[in-house]
Chains A and B, each alone.
Chain A
Amino acid sequence: MKIQVYPPPFANLSVLDEDGMMVLPPGARLATVYRRLKIPLLLQPLVICHVNYQRVKLSTQLKDGDVISFILPLAGG
């Protein structure tokens, strides 16, 4: 199955195609995405991740077409 990932900048991007899609085996969980992206442990407290714009647990099972978004600050004022 394919999921859309909006990764944080410090992630391992090599697991995504140019549109940010990740291919996962059926039944994969959110924790798998964390592992593949290699989110640094130190930054994990500041990282928030939503699946289809809802906070979920790392054990959440994913399905084809899910949108996984990691927060990323922007500049402004």
Chain B
Amino acid sequence: MRGNFLKGYCGKILMVDLTNSTFDEISIPDTIYEHFLSGVGLGAYILYKYLPPGADPLGPDNILGFVSGLLTGTGSFMTGRWLAVTKSPLTGGFGDANCGGTFSPALKQSGYDGIFFKGQAATPKMLLIDNAGPQLRDAADLWGLDTVETEAAINQMITANKKLAIAAIGPAGEHQSLIAGISNDGGRMAARSGVGTVMGSKKLKAVVLAGSKMIRSHDSLAIKAISQDYAKKVKAANLPAMATGAMLPMMGRSMVATDKAIPIDGMLSTAIIKKWGTGFTNTMGITMGDTPVKNWKGSVADFPYRNYRHMNPDRIQKHETKKYHCYSCVIGCGGVCDISGISKGRFPHTHKPEYETVAAFGSLLLNQNRDSIFIINELLNRGGMDSISAGNTIAFAMECYEKGWLSQEVTGGLDLTWGNAPAIITLVEQMIAGVGFGAILQHGVKKASAILGIESAPLAIHAGGQEPGMHDPRLDPILGIHYCCDPTPGRHTIGAGSYYTYMRIWEDVSWAPKVKLGEDKNDEYEATNQVGLKSMINACIKQILDGSGGCFFALVSGLNHFKLFDYLNAATGWQKTANEYMTIGLRMQTLRQAFNIREGINPRDFKMNQRLGGHPPLTAGPLKGKHFNIDEMMSIHYQFMGWDKKTGIPTKTALSDLGFCDLEMEGVTHG
């Protein structure tokens, strides 16, 4: 085991059987890490191996895993993210969600690369792991508390030699809203895929970590050198004091003023993230067309300056009382905002609202009431509900209301006129509690549409059941490919044409196409080999990142700065090339796809709503007239992944080439 600790990983997982209250330590062979890394790859391996095919996502057979990254805790920077993995009740396929904070290193300090749960407890439980080992404790008194209250109660209840790392669900997960997430660090959310729903179905209220085991890597000096070089560049990246949020809309307009591709040094973009966090996109995204408006059918013409100016990140940061960094982060995009006045004393503070939340409850609903977004942000964090899914679902309801398909009789008296902030707040509260009209919306837009009737389906914006992030594929069609083709669909952090440009992966991977100055960006609206190759590369590198516990903002700062492959070699002692790591990424992604196939998913069913592909096209704004053929885009991606071009099923040849035959993974090699 000592040898494993010198490779950056622990070499074992903990399997907790909640039905029988038993624990099983499972050793993981080195070869599994070499094939799948840790994080999402290890999670996919465990799910494929131990989850019975066809398991009910909300039944005892489903498995919920908490996994750290291979690089987490090794001294590498920007690698402190953990992932929840499970069979998603939202999509029926592979579900994952990741989050920062301090939980990921605590997983490894407990002695495990991952903690997995099967079965269902009869009464609410929480898992505590300290240096004495794991124990299940009664959590009946915690059931019903929100996530912030839960953490506070646990901290009162348990004394430890170090600060506890706690991941917990709120009321949304308890009553199994399908868009429930898992919270840590007082409201940071692993929000997507319904991972909190599964946790609630298992009656698992919280995971509490207090271990302090060492994590050692193969060459800590090499890791330190890479980290110092990266930190030096990040430290130097600062905006001049005169730069204000009021300039961002102009920047957005300028970014779409040219159709020509421009090589980008992603490192300096970190200066903007350091200053505003993700909120810099609040207004810039609207003027450039990235931010969706009015349930994805509007544009800046529907939410003009007089509306979007309220989302200026400077105005949001007026409430910020402190900034914070996740574990091992040198950028520090997080913040805490005082909202005691805004909420009339109901909540003392909230995490600085992320761009996704601001957009989902701002322009998407034509809501210019900034104060309402602060309150909604805290409600969702405490309730344990995904803001992206919740916002999309309310946007759907508002469009139905606009069309007259919903009456106040159905909404329980709520006036769902666009931008009605008080009604939106009430609806969010109802969704979290699962009451009133919120009981219809609490499971996301696909379920809501099914309840409200077939004619509402074109208004239900999702891909495979999961609502898309707040980035518009009509601006960046490769983003749309990932919305449709990732085994966990609707995710905005998998890849995009712009992300590809930022990464500069062609400097490491010999077969990756270089983005040349002056290339026509409109070429990305066609299903060309270049587009297929870029999307395939995006998918693979994202798996490597998620297998390492890496932060997306490090990736898009550029692999020429964030030396992910060097980090991995230094941590493990492997001598793999970037090309070899990309094969690992392809294998990880293919395993996730194979999981979906085994669970009966038809990959073509993950095709996103046609509106996102510009059908019909927008009639105003920077994306006016933009459209692309979604089906053809999916086909070209499948082809480059080595999956059948028509069906999206991994081919026997691809599976064999990726070495699945040697891994004794029954079923994966069937093709």
Q: B263 at interface (Cβ–Cβ under 8 A)?
A: yes
Which residue from A20, A43, A70, A76 sits with its C-beta under 8 Å from B278?
A76
Q: B470 at interface (Cβ–Cβ under 8 A)?
A: yes
- The docked-state distance in angstroms from the alpha carbon of A45 to that of B243 is 6
CB 8 Å contact bits of A8-49 with B (1 = contact, 0 = none): 111001001111100000000000000000000011011010
Chain A residues positioned under 8 Å from B281 (CB to CB): 73, 75-77
Identify which of B98-106, B107-115, B250-258, B408-416 touches chain A: B250-258
Chain A residues positioned under 8 Å from B255 (CB to CB): 9, 72-73
Chain B residues positioned under 8 Å from A50 (CB to CB): 236-237, 268
Chain A residues positioned under 8 Å from B469 (CB to CB): 77
Q: A54 at interface (Cβ–Cβ under 8 A)?
A: yes
Q: Is the CB of A48 within 8 A of B269?
A: no
Q: Is the CB of A76 within 8 A of B355?
A: yes
Chain A residues positioned under 8 Å from B265 (CB to CB): 6, 67, 69-70, 72
Which residue from A10, A13, A17, A72 sits with its C-beta under 8 Å from B268?
A72
User: Min CB distance, A5 to chain B, in Å?
Assistant: 9
Chain A residues positioned under 8 Å from B499 (CB to CB): 74
- The docked-state distance in angstroms from the alpha carbon of A20 to that of B280 is 26
User: Min CB distance, A39 to chain B, in Å?
Assistant: 11
Q: A71 at interface (Cβ–Cβ under 8 A)?
A: yes
- Enumerate B535-581 residues with CB–CB distance to A below 8 Å: 552-553, 556
Chain B residues positioned under 8 Å from A72 (CB to CB): 255, 262, 264-265, 268-269
Q: Is the CB of B273 within 8 A of A48?
A: no
Q: B452 at interface (Cβ–Cβ under 8 A)?
A: no
Q: B240 at interface (Cβ–Cβ under 8 A)?
A: yes
User: Min CB distance, A40 to chain B, in Å?
Assistant: 8
- The docked-state distance in angstroms from the alpha carbon of A45 to that of B241 is 9
- The docked-state distance in angstroms from the alpha carbon of A29 to that of B354 is 40
Q: A46-B243, A53-B236, A77-B281 are in contact. Are A71 and B263 (CB under 8 A)?
A: no
Residues of B in contact (CB 8 Å), total: 54
Q: B267 at interface (Cβ–Cβ under 8 A)?
A: yes
- Enumerate B219-259 residues with CB–CB distance to A below 8 Å: 232-233, 236-240, 242-243, 247-248, 250-251, 254-255, 257-258
Tell me the number of A-to-B contacts counted with CB atoms below 8 Å: 123
User: Min CB distance, A7 to chain B, in Å?
Assistant: 6
- The docked-state distance in angstroms from the alpha carbon of A2 to that of B62 is 59
Residue on A nearest B561 in the bound complex, by CB: A53
User: Min CB distance, B43 to chain A, in Å?
Assistant: 23
Q: A9-B255, A20-B263 are in contact. Are A76 and B243 (CB under 8 A)?
A: no
Q: B174 at interface (Cβ–Cβ under 8 A)?
A: no
Most buried by B among A18, A50, A55, A75: A75
Q: Is the CB of B254 within 8 A of A10?
A: yes
Most buried by B among A16, A67, A71: A71
- The docked-state distance in angstroms from the alpha carbon of A77 to that of B514 is 26
Chain A residues positioned under 8 Å from B278 (CB to CB): 76-77
Which residue from A17, A54, A73 sits with its C-beta under 8 Å from B269?
A73
Most buried by B among A6, A13, A43, A74: A74
Q: Is the CB of A71 within 8 A of B269?
A: yes
Q: B517 at interface (Cβ–Cβ under 8 A)?
A: yes
Q: B58 at interface (Cβ–Cβ under 8 A)?
A: no
Chain B residues positioned under 8 Å from A74 (CB to CB): 264, 266, 269, 272, 498-499, 502, 556
- The docked-state distance in angstroms from the alpha carbon of A50 to that of B624 is 35
Chain B residues positioned under 8 Å from A75 (CB to CB): 281, 285, 290, 471, 496, 498
Q: B667 at interface (Cβ–Cβ under 8 A)?
A: no
Q: Is the CB of A10 within 8 A of B257?
A: yes
CB 8 Å contact bits of B440-472 with A (1 = contact, 0 = none): 000000000000000000000000000001110
Q: Is the CB of A55 within 8 A of B243?
A: no
Chain A residues positioned under 8 Å from B243 (CB to CB): 45-46, 48
- The docked-state distance in angstroms from the alpha carbon of A16 to that of B516 is 11
CB 8 Å contact bits of A52-75 with B (1 = contact, 0 = none): 011100000000000101111111
- The docked-state distance in angstroms from the alpha carbon of A31 to that of B285 is 30
Chain A residues positioned under 8 Å from B517 (CB to CB): 13, 16-20
Which residue from A17, A45, A69 sits with its C-beta under 8 Å from B240?
A45
- The docked-state distance in angstroms from the alpha carbon of A18 to that of B239 is 28
Chain B residues positioned under 8 Å from A67 (CB to CB): 265
Task: List 5 additional A-B contacts (Cβ < 8 Å) besides A48-B238, A72-B264, A76-B552.
Answer: A45-B243, A70-B265, A73-B281, A76-B273, A77-B355
Interface residues of A (CB under 8 A from B): 6-10, 13, 16-20, 42-43, 45-46, 48, 50, 53-55, 67, 69-77
Interface residues of B (CB under 8 A from A): 232-233, 236-240, 242-243, 247-248, 250-251, 254-255, 257-258, 260, 262-269, 271-273, 278, 280-281, 284-285, 290, 354-356, 359, 469-471, 492, 496, 498-499, 502, 514, 516-518, 552-553, 556
Report 24 cross-chain contacts, Cβ distance below 8 Å, ordered by A residue.
Answer: A7-B262, A8-B262, A9-B262, A13-B518, A19-B263, A20-B262, A45-B247, A46-B239, A46-B248, A48-B243, A50-B236, A50-B268, A53-B233, A53-B237, A71-B239, A71-B268, A72-B255, A72-B262, A74-B272, A75-B281, A75-B290, A76-B553, A77-B356, A77-B359
Which 4 residue pairs are nearest across A and B when measured between Cβ atoms? A77-B355, A6-B265, A69-B265, A77-B356
